[in-house]
Each structure stands twice: as C-alpha cells, then as structure tokens.
Structure 1
C-alpha cells in the first residue's frame, strides 16, 4: 500500500479568511477542485469547500462579497504525508469528507488528498470503498 505522499496532489492553493467567497469559487473553478485550505499567519485555520459556499453562503442569502471566514469550516482534519492511504480513508470516513489537507511532520501544508485520488491511483480499492461508505453515511440530526 502506498503512503499518502505518493497519491496526493502537490498543487495546493491556499486562500485567506478575508478573501471573498467569489474569489474562492473562481479559484476552485479555475483549478478544477472543490476545497481549499484557509491560511492565516502561516497556519491552516480552516477549509472552504464548494459545498460551504453553496450551503453556508448562497443558501443563507450571502452574496459573493461575503468573506471566506463567514462560511469556512473550522477545525480541519488532516493527515501526515507519510501515513498510509488506509489511515487517510479512515479519517475521510470518520469526518465524512472527500478531501484532506496533507501536512509534513513540521505541520507544513504539502498537498491535498482527494477520495478520487485514492480510488483511481491506489491498486487496493478497499480503502477507497471504506472511505466512500463512511462519507456517504447519513448525518445524524
């Protein structure tokens, strides 16, 4: 089984909490990804996803000038780049996320691991299947 660093995307774009959700949406569209880490003072303080923009932003009546901070998710879960893909799949399932920031042992952001990366690039399909099952579980009300 591969380590996360062998499957992750190293092309990571970080957005600031005071940037607008319109800027975040444009970055996601142009980069063809659905989540961006939010960084402030050289620290990852959260993440914003296309779903955050839609559900916490637009659906709540906010327009594109709302800040990333208003709709981002705090308390981002992440994995180390030298951990196993199985570990990443467990984190994805536990927190019901499809994308994870990846940090090195100095806790510097070095990549993003998407569920699709696990499914397409990993020869063992079991971690991806387990993660997808966990991500797809209904959230308790």
Structure 2
C-alpha cells in the first residue's frame, strides 16, 4: 500500500483560468474523461469545479454556458501536498465530505487525488475500485 498522496494521485491535472466559461470546463471534462478541473488565477490554484457543480450551480439555476467557471467552482477549497500521508487525506476527505482534492506545491496544482484513487490503492477488489478503474462512459 502507498504511503503518500504522491503515490496515488493523478499528476498534471487539467486546469482552467477562472474567467473561462463553464462550457470550456465541460469540454475539458468530456475530452479528458474526468469529473473535475482545477481553477486557477494567473496559474495559482483558486478552486475546483466538478461536473456536479456545473449541473447544480449553472444548469439547474438556468445560467448559460458562457458563465465564468469561477461562478460554478467550490469556494471552500481544501488541498493537500504530495507528501501528505494517505491516512491524513482520508481523514480530510471524510471531515470535509469531498470526493476529490487538489494536490498543491508552491501554490501550483501538481495533481489531484480522488476517493477512487484511494479505493484502488487500499482495496483493489472493492466495488468502488472496480468502478474507478473502469473506462469512462461516453
């Protein structure tokens, strides 16, 4: 089993500037088969937006696809460093009720860790690990 977030994270996560429209974030998610994109301001991490954020905060509120992604992103950002222990990230995810966490070093996103990544590492035979490792829906 892995010891730190660096061992399980997805490196080089997709990012988008906060001023870009949500349609660009949605296109990135579709093209890259991911459920989250990290939001930046001048390259510095400023938030994270998920497919659910777009559905709930934009589509359900009848806002258009040109709405800046900053209007959809989570504003209570919780991050970890690559050297954070797996136990620490699990506790943070539980206490903050989040499924994905940006991995940050020097204010820059270097990765993203998800509950699926942790499931694959901790219990590769679990249903969540199987689902997380499967090819995405298209």
Q: With structure 2 as the length reference, what TM-score do the two structures score?
A: 0.83
Q: Deviations over 1:21-78 (max 9, x none)?
A: 1110110111111111110122111111111100000000012111101111113101
Partner of 1:19: 20
Partner of 2:135: none
1:122 paired to 2:92:
no
Runs of at least 5 residues in structure 1 that lack an aligned partner in the other structure: 129-141
Runs of at least 5 residues in structure 2 that lack an aligned partner in the other structure: 129-138
Report how many residues are paired.
Answer: 125
Partner of 1:100: 101
Q: Is the 8 A contact 2:12 2:109 kept in 1?
A: no
Q: With structure 1 as the length reference, what TM-score do the two structures score?
A: 0.81
Partner of 1:76: 77
